Amino acid sequence: MARLGIASEVTQVRVAVTQAEPKWLDLQGSVDKTCALIGEAAKGGAKLLAFPECWVTGYPAWIWARPVDTHLTSRYIKNCMRADGPEMARIQQCAADNDITIVLGFSENFHNTLYISQAIIDSDGKLLALRRKIKATHMERTIFGDASGDALTSVVDTKVGRVGALSCWEHIQPLLKYYLYSHREQIHVAAWPPLHPYKDEKELWSMSREGARALSQTYAIESQAFVLHATAVISEQGISLMNTEGGAVMSTPGGGSSAIFGPDGRILTEDMPQCEEGILYATLDLDEILRCKSFVDKWKLLSKLHRMNIMKELDHTMPQGVNER
């Protein structure tokens, strides 16, 4: 269980978030690129670097166009990373060599069962947290498994403060978010796949670049934490490799929309073009969290745990069968 109530001595921290294209279905290439970005971010002065959802070894975009593709899926399984494997060890060593904390999104292979996972690696290379997405979203369930309760350990003390993480549409889960809020995050990593601008009413706005950004920005306001909104990029080469042209998502080049939000929701970075790869930086003043909490501390003033007893009362008023399986 993550420790509670430990105040960081750090007040200023330079952070970074990637906007880059994964090395699709290529584990070794993914690790090479990860280490290159870690080195680049460290040279840029960053002490914390955030990666997007399934950065290693890329988000399996074909599932939204073609849920049954045994060739690509088997290749994907073989190229997904083990949490205890040599590739993860190499990334941990790279973090230590560059004195930088990493929040890494990756497709985890656990005995050939896959999970959408995030690792929080401290600047000494120690793996502080390994969490899995609680429930895969929609078509993701054709490939990825569900997490167990230990995935709730998502907020940990690092050299740069209390850092937590969630993946993609976990940011629509009120109770899951509330759990992280109660652990008093200072910096949150919101990991997403490539996200494209909204086009028309045929699409769900909530699945667009704008919808996902709204969720990350709302998380910043609600949690009063800094949020690193990490997204990936997909190119024509990636589309061709996964044959996603004409699919529901990730069917055109682009998808990059990385950003950093302050604890009051304001954006602290300038956008890069959606097809461009790079790293966004910001220097965070953690005392800004106190300034936001001085106006309203959601945890202290508005959400006392004893008020959640209302859930027990509501449980008695639910229609018959609602809680039955």
| CATH classification for the domain delimited by 12-298, as one of 3.60.110.10, 3.40.50.150, 3.40.1110.10, 1.10.760.10 | 3.60.110.10
> Would you say the pTM of this structure is higher than 0.85?
yes
Which residues does 160 contact at the CB level (< 8 Å), separation at least 6? 8, 10, 13, 15, 47, 48, 101, 123, 187
Q: How far apart are the first and last CA of the chain?
A: 29
The catalytically annotated residue of 9, 40, 53, 203 is 53
Query: Could you report the per-residue pLDDT of 102-132, keeping only the tens digit for each?
Result: 999 999 999 999 999 999 999 999 999 999 9
Residue that has been written with the tokens 């999970």 in this structure: 115
| pLDDT higher than 80, residue 317 | no
Q: At what angle do helices 209-223 and 174-182 cross, to 10 degrees?
A: 40
Distance of CA 29 to the CA centre of its chain: 21
Which residue intervals of 183-309 are DSSP H helices?
Answer: 209-223, 236-242, 287-295
Q: How far apart are CA 258 and CA 269, in angstroms?
A: 9
Region 225-231: what's the mean pLDDT? 99
| pLDDT higher than 60, residue 217 | yes
Query: Is residue 203 annotated as part of the catalytic site, yes or no?
Result: no
The token pair at 63 is 């599932």
Q: How far apart are CA 225 and CA 306, in angstroms?
A: 24
Does the N-terminal peptide bond of residue 57 adopt cis geometry, omega within 30 degrees of 0?
yes
pLDDT at position 5 is 45
Confidence of residue 177 (pLDDT cuts 50, 70, 90): very high
